[in-house]
Amino acid sequence: MSNAKVVFLTGLHEKIVEIVTEYNPDGFETQVLHRDTPLEDQKAAVADADFLLVFGAPLHDDVLKAASKARMVQLLAAGYDSMNLELLREMEIPCCNNGGANSRAVADQALFLMLSLYKQGIAAHASTTSGDWNSPIDGFNTFEIADKLVGVLGIGNIGRRVAKRVQGFDAKVQYYDLFPLSEDEERDLDVTRVSIEELFRTSDIITCHTPLTAGTRHIVNAEMLALMKPSAVLINTSRGPVVDEAALIEALQEGRIAGAGLDVFEQEPVDPDNPLLKMDNVVVSPHSAGTTWNTWFRRAEFAYRNMNGVWNGD
Protein backbone atom coordinates (compact mmCIF):
# COMPACT_ATOMS: atom_id res chain seq x y z
CA MET A 1 0.00 0.00 0.00
CA SER A 2 1.27 3.47 -0.86
CA ASN A 3 1.81 6.08 1.82
CA ALA A 4 -1.08 8.24 2.97
CA LYS A 5 -0.71 11.87 1.97
CA VAL A 6 -1.78 14.57 4.42
CA VAL A 7 -1.94 18.21 3.36
CA PHE A 8 -1.68 20.43 6.43
CA LEU A 9 -3.18 23.85 5.71
CA THR A 10 -2.24 26.16 8.55
CA GLY A 11 -1.32 29.59 9.81
CA LEU A 12 0.68 28.30 12.77
CA HIS A 13 4.24 29.25 13.68
CA GLU A 14 6.76 26.87 12.13
CA LYS A 15 7.91 25.59 15.54
CA ILE A 16 4.35 24.54 16.40
CA VAL A 17 4.00 22.99 12.94
CA GLU A 18 7.09 20.91 13.73
CA ILE A 19 5.49 19.71 16.97
CA VAL A 20 2.28 18.73 15.18
CA THR A 21 3.95 16.92 12.29
CA GLU A 22 6.18 14.91 14.65
CA TYR A 23 3.06 12.83 15.27
CA ASN A 24 3.03 11.81 11.61
CA PRO A 25 2.80 7.97 11.81
CA ASP A 26 4.75 5.48 9.73
CA GLY A 27 3.29 5.27 6.28
CA PHE A 28 2.12 8.89 6.30
CA GLU A 29 3.60 11.88 4.50
CA THR A 30 2.58 15.41 5.48
CA GLN A 31 2.92 18.40 3.18
CA VAL A 32 2.61 21.74 4.98
CA LEU A 33 0.93 24.63 3.22
CA HIS A 34 0.94 28.05 4.85
CA ARG A 35 -2.37 29.88 4.67
CA ASP A 36 -0.78 32.45 2.31
CA THR A 37 0.06 29.81 -0.30
CA PRO A 38 -1.59 30.82 -3.62
CA LEU A 39 -4.90 29.06 -4.24
CA GLU A 40 -3.69 27.41 -7.44
CA ASP A 41 -0.78 25.88 -5.53
CA GLN A 42 -3.15 24.72 -2.80
CA LYS A 43 -5.42 23.10 -5.39
CA ALA A 44 -2.49 21.29 -6.97
CA ALA A 45 -1.26 20.05 -3.61
CA VAL A 46 -4.61 18.61 -2.48
CA ALA A 47 -5.45 16.92 -5.77
CA ASP A 48 -3.91 13.62 -4.61
CA ALA A 49 -4.32 14.14 -0.85
CA ASP A 50 -5.86 11.42 1.27
CA PHE A 51 -6.46 13.76 4.21
CA LEU A 52 -6.70 17.50 4.77
CA LEU A 53 -5.50 18.72 8.17
CA VAL A 54 -6.66 22.27 8.91
CA PHE A 55 -5.95 24.86 11.59
CA GLY A 56 -5.76 28.64 11.49
CA ALA A 57 -6.31 28.85 7.75
CA PRO A 58 -9.40 29.05 5.53
CA LEU A 59 -10.28 26.01 3.47
CA HIS A 60 -11.55 27.63 0.29
CA ASP A 61 -14.33 25.91 -1.64
CA ASP A 62 -12.20 25.67 -4.78
CA VAL A 63 -9.45 23.95 -2.81
CA LEU A 64 -11.90 21.53 -1.24
CA LYS A 65 -13.40 20.74 -4.63
CA ALA A 66 -9.92 19.92 -5.91
CA ALA A 67 -9.44 17.39 -3.08
CA SER A 68 -11.58 14.76 -4.79
CA LYS A 69 -9.57 11.84 -3.34
CA ALA A 70 -9.72 13.00 0.26
CA ARG A 71 -11.13 10.56 2.77
CA MET A 72 -11.58 13.10 5.55
CA VAL A 73 -11.00 16.69 6.64
CA GLN A 74 -9.43 16.62 10.10
CA LEU A 75 -9.44 19.76 12.24
CA LEU A 76 -7.05 20.60 15.04
CA ALA A 77 -9.76 22.75 16.64
CA ALA A 78 -13.06 21.86 18.26
CA GLY A 79 -15.10 24.40 16.29
CA TYR A 80 -16.26 23.52 12.79
CA ASP A 81 -18.30 26.65 12.03
CA SER A 82 -15.75 27.79 9.42
CA MET A 83 -16.19 24.62 7.35
CA ASN A 84 -18.55 24.45 4.36
CA LEU A 85 -20.44 21.43 5.65
CA GLU A 86 -22.92 21.48 2.78
CA LEU A 87 -20.12 21.12 0.22
CA LEU A 88 -18.47 18.42 2.31
CA ARG A 89 -21.76 16.50 2.34
CA GLU A 90 -22.07 16.84 -1.43
CA MET A 91 -18.54 15.45 -1.82
CA GLU A 92 -19.25 12.75 0.79
CA ILE A 93 -16.17 13.77 2.78
CA PRO A 94 -16.55 13.59 6.57
CA CYS A 95 -15.20 16.42 8.69
CA CYS A 96 -13.84 15.55 12.14
CA ASN A 97 -13.24 18.14 14.82
CA ASN A 98 -10.84 17.87 17.76
CA GLY A 99 -13.23 18.14 20.70
CA GLY A 100 -11.66 17.90 24.12
CA ALA A 101 -8.08 18.69 23.15
CA ASN A 102 -8.30 22.28 24.36
CA SER A 103 -11.10 21.82 26.91
CA ARG A 104 -8.82 22.35 29.92
CA ALA A 105 -7.39 25.53 28.45
CA VAL A 106 -10.78 27.03 27.62
CA ALA A 107 -12.20 26.05 31.00
CA ASP A 108 -9.25 27.78 32.66
CA GLN A 109 -9.92 30.93 30.63
CA ALA A 110 -13.60 30.94 31.58
CA LEU A 111 -12.63 30.83 35.25
CA PHE A 112 -9.97 33.51 34.69
CA LEU A 113 -12.59 35.83 33.19
CA MET A 114 -14.97 35.19 36.10
CA LEU A 115 -12.27 35.95 38.65
CA SER A 116 -11.06 39.01 36.74
CA LEU A 117 -14.57 40.47 36.92
CA TYR A 118 -15.28 39.45 40.49
CA LYS A 119 -11.89 40.61 41.84
CA GLN A 120 -11.49 43.73 39.66
CA GLY A 121 -8.30 42.09 38.42
CA ILE A 122 -7.53 44.30 35.41
CA ALA A 123 -8.29 47.58 37.18
CA ALA A 124 -6.37 46.51 40.29
CA HIS A 125 -3.30 45.64 38.22
CA ALA A 126 -3.41 48.97 36.37
CA SER A 127 -3.81 51.02 39.55
CA THR A 128 -1.01 49.18 41.34
CA THR A 129 1.51 49.59 38.51
CA SER A 130 0.58 53.26 38.04
CA GLY A 131 1.04 54.08 41.73
CA ASP A 132 -2.65 54.70 42.32
CA TRP A 133 -2.72 52.26 45.24
CA ASN A 134 -5.92 50.26 45.74
CA SER A 135 -8.17 52.91 44.20
CA PRO A 136 -10.44 50.52 42.22
CA ILE A 137 -11.33 48.44 45.30
CA ASP A 138 -13.99 50.18 47.37
CA GLY A 139 -15.31 47.29 49.45
CA PHE A 140 -18.51 47.09 47.44
CA ASN A 141 -17.28 45.89 44.02
CA THR A 142 -15.37 42.65 44.64
CA PHE A 143 -16.99 39.28 45.21
CA GLU A 144 -16.41 35.59 45.87
CA ILE A 145 -17.48 32.73 43.61
CA ALA A 146 -18.40 30.68 46.68
CA ASP A 147 -22.15 30.09 47.02
CA LYS A 148 -22.87 31.66 43.64
CA LEU A 149 -25.11 29.86 41.17
CA VAL A 150 -23.21 29.29 37.92
CA GLY A 151 -25.24 28.58 34.81
CA VAL A 152 -23.45 26.56 32.13
CA LEU A 153 -24.87 27.00 28.64
CA GLY A 154 -23.68 23.85 26.87
CA ILE A 155 -22.40 20.98 29.01
CA GLY A 156 -19.96 19.32 26.61
CA ASN A 157 -16.25 18.71 27.23
CA ILE A 158 -15.56 22.31 28.20
CA GLY A 159 -18.78 22.95 30.09
CA ARG A 160 -18.17 19.92 32.30
CA ARG A 161 -14.65 21.07 33.14
CA VAL A 162 -15.94 24.53 33.99
CA ALA A 163 -18.53 22.97 36.29
CA LYS A 164 -15.81 21.09 38.16
CA ARG A 165 -13.61 24.16 38.42
CA VAL A 166 -16.25 26.47 39.88
CA GLN A 167 -17.36 23.72 42.27
CA GLY A 168 -13.79 23.83 43.54
CA PHE A 169 -14.57 27.42 44.50
CA ASP A 170 -17.71 26.23 46.33
CA ALA A 171 -20.18 27.38 43.69
CA LYS A 172 -23.35 25.55 42.72
CA VAL A 173 -23.93 24.61 39.08
CA GLN A 174 -26.98 24.39 36.86
CA TYR A 175 -27.00 23.88 33.10
CA TYR A 176 -28.97 23.98 29.90
CA ASP A 177 -28.13 21.90 26.85
CA LEU A 178 -30.05 20.75 23.78
CA PHE A 179 -28.67 17.28 24.53
CA PRO A 180 -29.00 16.89 28.30
CA LEU A 181 -26.94 14.59 30.46
CA SER A 182 -28.32 11.36 31.82
CA GLU A 183 -29.49 11.31 35.43
CA ASP A 184 -26.38 9.36 36.39
CA GLU A 185 -24.13 11.91 34.69
CA GLU A 186 -25.93 14.79 36.39
CA ARG A 187 -25.54 13.11 39.76
CA ASP A 188 -21.84 12.35 39.19
CA LEU A 189 -21.14 15.91 38.05
CA ASP A 190 -23.42 17.40 40.74
CA VAL A 191 -25.29 19.65 38.30
CA THR A 192 -28.97 20.45 37.87
CA ARG A 193 -30.74 20.66 34.51
CA VAL A 194 -33.00 23.70 33.99
CA SER A 195 -34.73 25.44 31.11
CA ILE A 196 -32.79 28.14 29.29
CA GLU A 197 -35.15 30.75 30.72
CA GLU A 198 -34.51 29.52 34.27
CA LEU A 199 -30.77 29.49 33.60
CA PHE A 200 -30.76 33.16 32.65
CA ARG A 201 -33.26 34.20 35.30
CA THR A 202 -31.51 32.69 38.32
CA SER A 203 -27.77 32.36 37.59
CA ASP A 204 -25.21 34.72 39.09
CA ILE A 205 -22.69 33.78 36.40
CA ILE A 206 -23.67 32.51 32.95
CA THR A 207 -20.85 30.89 30.98
CA CYS A 208 -21.28 29.95 27.31
CA HIS A 209 -19.82 26.70 25.99
CA THR A 210 -22.03 25.77 23.07
CA PRO A 211 -20.80 25.24 19.49
CA LEU A 212 -21.91 27.74 16.88
CA THR A 213 -24.70 26.27 14.75
CA ALA A 214 -27.80 27.67 13.09
CA GLY A 215 -29.68 26.83 16.28
CA THR A 216 -27.24 28.53 18.67
CA ARG A 217 -26.52 31.71 16.72
CA HIS A 218 -27.68 34.56 18.97
CA ILE A 219 -29.05 32.08 21.51
CA VAL A 220 -27.97 34.75 23.99
CA ASN A 221 -30.22 37.52 22.71
CA ALA A 222 -32.07 40.55 24.06
CA GLU A 223 -34.83 38.35 25.44
CA MET A 224 -32.42 36.16 27.40
CA LEU A 225 -30.34 39.10 28.62
CA ALA A 226 -33.51 40.79 29.89
CA LEU A 227 -34.06 37.82 32.20
CA MET A 228 -30.66 38.18 33.92
CA LYS A 229 -30.26 39.64 37.38
CA PRO A 230 -28.65 43.12 37.52
CA SER A 231 -25.84 41.57 39.56
CA ALA A 232 -25.17 38.76 37.05
CA VAL A 233 -22.24 38.51 34.63
CA LEU A 234 -21.93 36.79 31.26
CA ILE A 235 -18.86 34.83 30.13
CA ASN A 236 -18.33 33.76 26.50
CA THR A 237 -15.41 31.57 25.46
CA SER A 238 -17.31 29.66 22.75
CA ARG A 239 -17.97 31.64 19.56
CA GLY A 240 -18.79 35.33 19.17
CA PRO A 241 -22.10 34.96 17.30
CA VAL A 242 -23.51 32.79 20.10
CA VAL A 243 -24.17 36.19 21.73
CA ASP A 244 -26.11 39.02 20.08
CA GLU A 245 -23.40 41.60 20.59
CA ALA A 246 -25.60 44.64 20.01
CA ALA A 247 -28.04 43.41 22.65
CA LEU A 248 -25.17 42.74 25.08
CA ILE A 249 -23.74 46.22 24.58
CA GLU A 250 -27.14 47.75 25.27
CA ALA A 251 -27.66 45.66 28.41
CA LEU A 252 -24.24 46.65 29.76
CA GLN A 253 -24.61 50.33 28.90
CA GLU A 254 -27.99 50.47 30.64
CA GLY A 255 -26.68 48.62 33.70
CA ARG A 256 -29.14 45.77 33.31
CA ILE A 257 -26.33 43.24 33.89
CA ALA A 258 -23.18 43.72 35.93
CA GLY A 259 -20.47 42.75 33.47
CA ALA A 260 -19.08 40.45 30.80
CA GLY A 261 -15.93 38.44 30.17
CA LEU A 262 -15.36 37.78 26.48
CA ASP A 263 -12.75 35.80 24.58
CA VAL A 264 -14.73 35.88 21.32
CA PHE A 265 -16.55 38.48 19.24
CA GLU A 266 -18.96 38.59 16.33
CA GLN A 267 -16.25 40.23 14.24
CA GLU A 268 -12.69 38.98 14.61
CA PRO A 269 -10.26 40.63 14.89
CA VAL A 270 -12.52 42.87 16.93
CA ASP A 271 -13.08 46.44 15.74
CA PRO A 272 -10.96 48.75 17.97
CA ASP A 273 -14.00 51.05 18.19
CA ASN A 274 -16.26 48.30 19.56
CA PRO A 275 -17.94 49.76 22.68
CA LEU A 276 -17.20 46.56 24.59
CA LEU A 277 -13.51 47.50 24.58
CA LYS A 278 -14.24 50.79 26.35
CA MET A 279 -16.25 49.47 29.29
CA ASP A 280 -14.79 49.15 32.79
CA ASN A 281 -17.07 46.18 33.56
CA VAL A 282 -15.92 44.11 30.58
CA VAL A 283 -12.79 41.92 30.47
CA VAL A 284 -11.64 40.75 27.04
CA SER A 285 -9.07 38.50 25.38
CA PRO A 286 -8.30 37.86 21.67
CA HIS A 287 -9.91 34.42 21.06
CA SER A 288 -6.93 32.92 22.83
CA ALA A 289 -8.66 30.70 25.40
CA GLY A 290 -7.80 27.43 23.70
CA THR A 291 -4.21 28.32 22.87
CA THR A 292 -1.71 26.90 25.31
CA TRP A 293 1.58 25.09 24.83
CA ASN A 294 0.05 21.93 26.28
CA THR A 295 -2.81 21.67 23.79
CA TRP A 296 -0.72 21.17 20.65
CA PHE A 297 0.44 17.74 21.73
CA ARG A 298 -3.11 16.55 22.45
CA ARG A 299 -4.45 18.06 19.23
CA ALA A 300 -1.74 16.48 17.10
CA GLU A 301 -1.88 13.07 18.76
CA PHE A 302 -5.64 12.85 18.29
CA ALA A 303 -5.63 14.15 14.72
CA TYR A 304 -3.03 11.72 13.39
CA ARG A 305 -4.45 8.82 15.39
CA ASN A 306 -7.84 9.57 13.86
CA MET A 307 -6.50 9.81 10.31
CA ASN A 308 -4.46 6.65 10.80
CA GLY A 309 -7.57 4.85 11.99
CA VAL A 310 -9.54 5.87 8.92
CA TRP A 311 -6.61 4.91 6.67
CA ASN A 312 -6.64 1.44 8.23
CA GLY A 313 -10.39 1.02 7.81
CA ASP A 314 -11.61 2.01 11.29
The catalytic residue positions are 239, 268, 287
3-state secondary structure 206-247: EEECCCCCCCCCCCECHHHHHHCCCCCEEEECCCHHHECHHH
Distance in angstroms (rounded) separating the CA atoms of residues 55 and 125: 34
Alpha helical stretches, state H, the chain: 14-21, 39-46, 61-66, 85-91, 103-118, 121-130, 157-167, 183-189, 196-202, 222-227, 245-253, 293-311
- HSE-CB for 16 with a 13 A CA cutoff: 18
* Closest C-alpha to 237, from 257, 196, 269, 208: 208
Distance in angstroms (rounded) separating the CA atoms of residues 261 and 110: 8
DSSP-derived letter for residue 83 is: S
Which amino acid is located at 126 in the chain? A
* Closest C-alpha to 206, from 173, 239, 178, 180: 173
Distance in angstroms (rounded) separating the CA atoms of residues 184 and 192: 11
Distance in angstroms (rounded) separating the CA atoms of residues 252 and 99: 32
* Closest C-alpha to 159, from 117, 100, 73: 100
Q: How many residues are present in the chain?
A: 314
